[in-house]
Amino acid sequence: MIELDETIDSQAVLPGDADDRALRRSEARRPWPLKIVTYNIHGAVGRDRQLAPARIAAVLEEIDADVVALQEVPLGGSDAPNVLAYLAEATGFHSVAGVTMSSPQRLYGNAVLSRHPIVASRAIDLSFGTREPRGALDADIDCDGHLLRVVATHLGLSAAERRRQVEQLLESFETPAMPVVLVGDLNEWFLWGRALRRLVAHFKRVPAPLTFPSRLPVFALDRVWVSPAKRLVRVSVHKTRAARIASDHLPLVAQIDA
């Protein structure tokens, strides 16, 4: 008869130990909660009409977000600075641009900065008739092994334009395996505008703090929506003195969790 040795080697791997250690490693790498900001930087021209990308960088340093969606970003050209390149260097973040207006003299549009690697990006053309070109920047971000899809946009000034643009965006959101964050300047002045009603129907009602104009905000032009909706846990406006001067919009800050 063979006797069983009931002593246990402290270094031995017991059933389930490997799984437990893998789970602990995964928990240690969880990026949540994640802070996301959407910010219309007005070409980095402040309320004093001075071009000052350093002031935008200072506001971003105050916020200390993980992902930053920007609108009205100068992206270079013979007559324009590359503000995105400046901000990427100042923050040390990964960056990607979504050009909506392009000429040899000036590139302009949306952008995303991310503490985590941006593994893919796509441009969504939201131009409407003869109105100013508009678009969305659709970026996949690898947050420590957790993929997050961030769509940064700046919608048009007419109601009909915004309605069509929202429909185009919603048509692109069929990614059930990946959470989606839609952020940007929606240019929706009316609380019950049809574009907003459509977004509420697709996502759900979310807080909408006032962000424009920055000195004394009276409109909630900047918005954040998350799918699944339960992952959005907090929305606030960054209202420091620096933020009130750096742009005509205040940054909108959201926190999402697992």
- State the SS3 of 130-150: CCCCCEEEEEEEEECCEEEEE
pLDDT, position 13: 40
Q: Work out the angle at residue 169's Cα, subtended by the Cα atoms of residues 179 and 212, and round it to the nearest 5 degrees.
A: 90
Q: What would the two tokens of residue 173 be?
A: 């959101």
Measure the CA–CA gap between 227 and 107, rounded to whole angstroms. 31
* Among 28-42, 120-134, 170-184, the least confident range: 170-184
Long-range contacts of 233-240 (CB under 8 A, 24+ apart): 233/33, 233/257, 235/206, 235/207, 235/208, 235/209, 236/209, 237/209, 237/210, 237/211, 238/37, 238/59, 238/62, 238/63, 240/59, 240/62
Q: Are 203 and 230 in contact (CB under 8 A)?
A: no
Per-residue pLDDT reduced to its tens digit, 42-77: 999 999 999 999 999 999 999 999 999 999 999 998
Q: What is the mean pLDDT of residues 166-170?
A: 92
Q: Which of 117, 177, 120 is nearest to 145 (CA)?
A: 117
pLDDT, position 141: 97
Measure the CA–CA gap between 39 and 182, rounded to whole angstroms. 13
Domain that holds residue 47: 32-256
pLDDT, position 23: 44
Q: What is the mean pLDDT of residues 199-222?
A: 92
Is residue 80 one of the residues assigned to a domain? yes
Q: Is the pLDDT of residue 25 over 60?
A: no
In this structure, the number of other CB atoms found within 10 A of the CB of residue 52 comes to 15
pLDDT band, residue 192 (cuts 50/70/90): confident
Burial class (CB in 10 A: 0-12, 13-18, 19+), 166: buried
For residue 190, give the CATH number of its domain.
Answer: 3.60.10.10
Is residue 67 one of the residues assigned to a domain? yes
Mean pLDDT over the full length of the chain: 87
pLDDT, position 56: 98
**Beta sheet of 118-125, edge-to-edge order:** 118-125, 135-143, 146-154, 180-185, 222-227
Measure the CA–CA gap between 138 and 111, rounded to whole angstroms. 10
pLDDT, position 14: 43
Q: What is the mean pLDDT of residues 3-27?
A: 43
Q: What is the mean pLDDT of residues 138-164?
A: 94
pLDDT band, residue 238 (cuts 50/70/90): very high
Query: What is the domain count for the chain?
Result: 1
pTM of the model: 0.86
Residues 6+ apart with CB under 8 A from 95: 84, 85, 87, 88, 111, 112, 113, 114, 118
Q: Is the pLDDT of residue 27 over 80?
A: no
pLDDT, position 178: 78
Q: Are 40 and 249 in contact (CB under 8 A)?
A: yes
pLDDT band, residue 29 (cuts 50/70/90): low
Q: Work out the angle at residue 136's Cα, subtended by the Cα atoms of residues 208 and 40, and round it to the nearest 5 degrees.
A: 50
